[in-house]
């Protein structure tokens, strides 16, 4: 099992048949985590989308050049480039398209930039198919208002680390491995108080 994409294992879970709003259901997925990409593609096809799955910025741009899709889910950080390039190109070729950026906890500020560049919304990884589906189908009205006093980036990062720590049964070694950080660094973070 690929632990890097842990919650993606919930993607294959059978869910109630959900209806997609009528109209164009073409969906571009761009993620360089191949197992996650494959599971997400199957899950979104089961929800009524016609899916084009790509694992690089270049493939994503080629797919948009061929036929700009109505929807896109793009990982922010790709091996050889930035998912923002894909979102920008999609919005240039099809302004009504709805693109969602997937981002790790350390990229929340960049994700806000993605929204300014044309992404409809962003989701913090790991995200499952239900979350992604609901984000794609949400109306502008469904989106949460910008909070008056949003959490700082440090607080968001701390909350994410705490969540993974709890999901790993408070096992420091496993949490550090899943977060890709040194065990001692994680121990120092866990010992500190929550940032404001």
**Measured distance CA(32)–CA(55) in Å, rounded:** 4
**DSSP helix/strand/coil, 50:** strand
109 three-state secondary structure: helix
Task: Show me where the domains of the chain are located.
Answer: 3-142, 153-191
Tens-place pLDDT, residues 42-81: 999 999 999 999 999 999 999 999 999 999 999 988 877 7
Mean pLDDT, range 92-109, rounded to an integer: 80
What gap in Å lies between CA 155 and CA 6, rounded to an integer? 23
- The pLDDT tens digits for 114-171 are 777 778 888 887 788 888 998 888 865 445 455 566 666 777 777 778 878 888 888 9
**Tokens 């502008």 appear where?**
140
Question: Which pLDDT band holds residue 1 (cuts at 50, 70, 90)?
Answer: very low
Q: Are 100 and 121 in contact (CB under 8 A)?
A: yes
CATH of domain 153-191: 1.10.10
Number of H helices, E strands in the chain: 8, 7
**Cα–Cα distance measured from residue 9 to residue 3, given in angstroms and rounded to the nearest whole number:** 9
CATH of the structural domain 3-142, one choice from 3.40.50.1000, 3.90.1010.10, 3.40.50.2300, 3.40.50.12780: 3.40.50.2300
Mean pLDDT within 12-39: 70
Written as six digits, the tokens of 69 are 């899709």
55-62 contacts at long range (C-beta below 8 A, 24 or more positions apart)? 55/30, 55/31, 56/30, 56/32, 56/80, 56/81, 57/30, 57/81, 57/82, 57/83, 57/85, 57/86, 59/30, 60/28, 60/30, 60/86, 61/85, 61/86, 61/89
Q: 3-142 with 153-191: one CATH topology? A: no
């Amino acid at each position: 099992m690929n632990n890097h994409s842990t919650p993606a294992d919930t993607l294959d879970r059978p869910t109630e048949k959900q209806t997609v709003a009528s109209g164009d259901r073409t969906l571009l997925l761009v993620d360089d985590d191949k197992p996650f990409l494959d599971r997400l593609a199957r899950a979104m096809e089961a929800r009524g989308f016609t899916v084009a799955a790509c694992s690089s910025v270049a493939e994503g741009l080629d797919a948009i050049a061929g036929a700009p899709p109505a929807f896109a889910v793009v990982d922010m950080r790709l091996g050889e480039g930035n998912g923002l390039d894909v979102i920008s190109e999609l919005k240039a070729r099809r302004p009504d398209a709805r693109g969602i950026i997937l981002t790790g906890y350390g990229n929340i500020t960049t994700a806000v930039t993605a929204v300014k560049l044309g992404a409809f919304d962003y989701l913090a990884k790991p995200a499952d198919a239900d979350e992604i589906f609901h984000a794609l189908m949400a109306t502008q009205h469904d989106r949460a208002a910008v909070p008056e006093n949003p959490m700082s980036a440090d607080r968001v990062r701390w909350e994410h680390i705490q969540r993974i720590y709890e999901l790993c049964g408070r096992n420091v070694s496993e949490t550090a491995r899943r977060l890709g950080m040194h065990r001692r660094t994680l121990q120092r973070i866990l010992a500190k108080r929550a940032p404001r």
